[in-house]
Structure 1
Amino acid sequence: MNTWGVRVIALLAVVGSYWLVYQHGRSVERAEATAASAQRDSGDRLAEVLGERGERTKEQQRADAQEEVRAHAQKQRTIAEGAAARADAAGQRLRDEAGKLAAAVGCPGQDPADAARGEAARRAAMVLSDLLNRSVETNRELAAAYDRARLAGLACEASYDGLVE
């Protein structure tokens, strides 16, 4: 081979080696860029996971607060039902006493006028006893409805306050 051919081959070898170095540099840059992107994505994902974990923690705290409100409302409902039962018992005793009084009212005797007055008094006592019975029943129903509405309102307010915080 002549010198000219040797020079061309040498030149091609140098240019080829430069080309290989250039390609190697590009592949190293791509690998570094991919690693940086992966690290950035990993950091973003970590932040996302931590954010989700924080949201889950907040949601669990809200759920715990709601459960506490529900338990407190149930306790208050039990107390109100006990008070209503005691009031019902007292009302029943009052009705029994009014019934006994109505039955006992009268004027035993021989005089027809006294008997008529006694019968009128007994009827009046029975009417009053009946009115008392209806009044006690109506008041019991109203008190129970008020207790339910009040407890529901307090539970709703506490639940709302727990969510707003």
Structure 2
Amino acid sequence: MTSIWLRILPYIAALALVAGALFGAYHHGVTVTNAKWQAEWNTRDTRDAEARATNEAAERTREQVYQQSINKAVQDGQRIIDQATADAAAARTAANGVRGAADALAARLAASEASGNSCTAAASKAASRAAMVLADVLKRVDQRAGDLAEAADQARARGVTCEQAYAGLSK
């Protein structure tokens, strides 16, 4: 029996060497294939990272352009609001002159009512009261018109600012 084993042993050894060589070749092929794919994946990951960095830089630039356009719209809007406020102050000053004239007219009518004869005193008194009421209404209307004009000017300025900011974003 030992002689059979001694005769078969070289064949078994040769078969083991062939099986070992085949396994080694297979393992080497798998390793080379894995290394090839890993290199391709690394290349793809590098390209993806570069593309992501490029896209982020482009988006940051676009965001800065948007922010600058919004800042400019806000500055322009504030300038318009400041101008509207200055115009309203100038209108108030002019309106104070009109109100002063109405007060002077009412005072003059009241003074003329006090001095006069008794015949025309009743008619003069009614006319002077009507003129004083008219002067008071004129003052109130002028004040309210000034307030409304100021509010409308500021609302318009804010609307223009909003439109400019939107136009800057939608470009």
Query: Runs of at least 4 residues of structure 1 off by over 4 A?
Result: 1-4, 107-110, 114-118
How far apart are the structure 2 equivalents of 1:113 and 1:121? 14
Runs of 5+ consecutive residues of structure 1 not aligned to the other structure: none
How far apart are the structure 2 equivalents of 1:89 and 1:120? 31
Query: Aligned pair 1:57/2:61, yes or no?
Result: yes
User: Which has the higher relative contact order, 1 or 2, with Cα contacts under 8 A spaced 6 or more apart?
Assistant: 2
1:81 shift after superposition: 0.4
User: Aligned runs of 1:1-40 on 2, under 5 Å?
Assistant: 2=6, 4-40=8-44
How far apart are the structure 1 equivalents of 2:86 and 2:154? 13
1:78 shift after superposition: 0.8
User: Aligned runs of 1:64-143 on 2, under 5 Å?
Assistant: 64-105=68-109, 106=112, 111-116=117-122, 118-143=124-149
Query: Aligned pair 1:145/2:143, yes or no?
Result: no
Q: 2-11 or 79-88, which moves further after superposition?
A: 2-11
How far apart are the structure 2 equivalents of 1:7 and 1:128? 132
How far apart are the structure 1 equivalents of 2:159 and 2:47? 46
Runs of 5+ consecutive residues of structure 2 not aligned to the other structure: none
1:126 shift after superposition: 1.3
Q: 9-18 or 85-94, which moves further after superposition?
A: 9-18
C-alpha spacing 1:127/1:80, structure 2 compared with 1 (3 Å): same
Asked if structure 1 preserves the Cα contact closer than 8 Å seen for 2:66 and 2:169, the reply is yes
RMSD: 2.4
Q: What is the TM-score of this pair, normalised by structure 2? A: 0.81
Deviations along 1:108-162, one digit per CA (max 9) or x if unpaired, are 7563235445534432331221121011112112202211221122112112211
* Letter paired with 1:143: A
% identical equivalent positions: 34
Asked if structure 2 preserves the Cα contact closer than 8 Å seen for 1:103 and 1:122, the reply is no
- Number of equivalences: 165
